[in-house]
Structures are given as structure tokens and as C-alpha cells.
Amino acid sequence: MIGISLIKILFLYRAPIYQSCFDPLGSDCLNNGWSISNRIDTCAGIKYIGRFGERVPLTQTFLCPQGLQMKFSFTIGMFDSWDLQENFFVYCDNVLIDTFKYTPAHSSHLCFDSVYREDIVQKSFRFQSPLGKNSLTLKLQDDLDESINNESWGIRNVLLEVFEPCVDFFSECNYQGEFWRICAGNQTSLSKNLPLQIKSIIILKGIIVKLKDAKYFGGNMQTYTTDQPCLNDFNFPKYQKTI
């Protein structure tokens, strides 16, 4: 007796892996997951995650399918007395993806030390998520040589998203073992196409995965909208030909 097993995936919109601090008043800025937590400050009435400086790195690791086109964007406030030779660095897994500087011509007096001006800039980067792993670590760092009261930065409108949303299925718990990928555009599949039994699934926000098999949960459709690190109760069967 072979049940008909079905995977159906709904890709509702381009999937954000992470977003934080989009509300100008900052209610969503405080619990942001970055390595230096609970730091929030206000410039010209707008909240920023920060202030940071003194070359201390700010990092965050995200669960993320490998080898996908990613976009990382944020608004940075570069506050006060940045010198012309000083830089800001953006890394993914310790690989530099961009560096930029404070631009005096763009700056204006907005906040903090009234002697020095602020440069507020929208930044956006595209890169591929690292291969051979299911996570990536973003790192933001300056090379400022003076105190935060003298020169600093903060970020807001922080967004990490995937351009081609995909769902990765794994043969072992915790996203290990063989993996099999369904992307937007090749989304519905019968289990005869499955090369493995599903034990864990990376499900980006905005994606709904539905699994159905006659032998499990009375044949009812199971719906998942978040990462599933270990589906011990759902041993999705390999397809077998009826004898």
C-alpha cells in the first residue's frame, strides 16, 4: 500500500530573512539580535541601533540556504567627527563585501556633538550566501580611532533578503545530511522525485510548506511556516514502486 505523498510550497513574496528597526520611533529597534544588544540611540528624532565605534565589530549569524543570491541593506548614520581616511567595512563570513567612507559634502548637523556633522546614507549589497553551510555571519565594523562621543555610527532599516526564495529539505535533523532544494518556479512535486527522507527543513519567512502523506496524520495536510530542525514525527517516505 503506497500512499500518495505530496509537497506543496507557497512562495508568497520575496523572503526576508531578517528585518529590524524600520519604525522611526524605534519600537522594533531594541531586540535586534546583534552581538552588542540593547543599544539604541536617537538622532534628529529617529531611532538607530547604536551608537557603535572604536573598531568593535557588530555581528549576527543567520540560518540561510547556501548558494543563493542575497541582498543586505541598511541605513547608516555616520555621526560626528569621522576623519577622511576612516572607513566602514561590511563582511559576510569574514569576506569583505564593501567598504565606504563618510562624505563631508553630504553631511549636515543633525545630532550629538553640535560641532560635527552627520552623514546619513542608504546602503545595499548583493552577494551569494556561502557554500557548504546553512548559515552566514554578517559583520559591520569601523576603523575609528576616537571615542564614541567623538565619532560613531548607528544603523536602521536593516534588511537581509533572498532574491530567489528556495526551500531546502534535509535527510537528517538540524539541516544535516543530503539536501534537496525546491525554488520558486519548480514548486510542486510528488514524492517520487524526492531523493531522501525529510528530517529537517529550512523555511524562509513568507514561504508555506505543505506535506501530505496517507500514512501520517491520517492523511491530513501538515503545514509549516518556520524552520523545522527535526521532524521526528514525520518520516516522509521514499517513493517505492507498487509491486
- The residues binding Ca ion (CB under 5 A) are 80, 83, 112-113, 116, 145-146
Instruction: Name which of 23 and 83 has its Cβ closer to Ca ion.
Output: 83
What is the rounded CA–CA span in Å between residue 179 and residue 69? 18
CA–CA–CA angle 56, 57, 58 (5° rounding): 120
Give the nearest distance from C-beta 141 to Ca ion in angstroms. Answer: 14
Residues contacting 89, CB < 8 A, separation 6+: 96, 98, 99, 139, 140, 141, 142, 143
Instruction: Name which of 80 and 119 has its Cβ closer to Ca ion.
Output: 80
Give the nearest distance from C-beta 80 to Ca ion in angstroms. Answer: 5
Give the nearest distance from C-beta 114 to Ca ion in angstroms. Answer: 6
Instruction: Name which of 23 and 145 has its Cβ closer to Ca ion.
Output: 145
109-139 CB burial, b ≥16 within 10 A, e <16: ebbbeeeebbbbeeeeeebebbeeebebebb
Instruction: Name which of 102 and 179 has its Cβ closer to Ca ion.
Output: 102
Integer angstrom CA distances of residue 159 from 124, 137, 242: 9, 14, 48
Give the nearest distance from C-beta 150 to Ca ion in angstroms. Answer: 7
Supply φ then ψ for residue 11, to 5 degrees.
Answer: -95, 100
Instruction: Report the residue closest to Ca ion, judged by CB.
Output: 83
Instruction: Name which of 116 and 234 has its Cβ closer to Ca ion.
Output: 116
Give the nearest distance from C-beta 87 to Ca ion in angstroms. Answer: 11
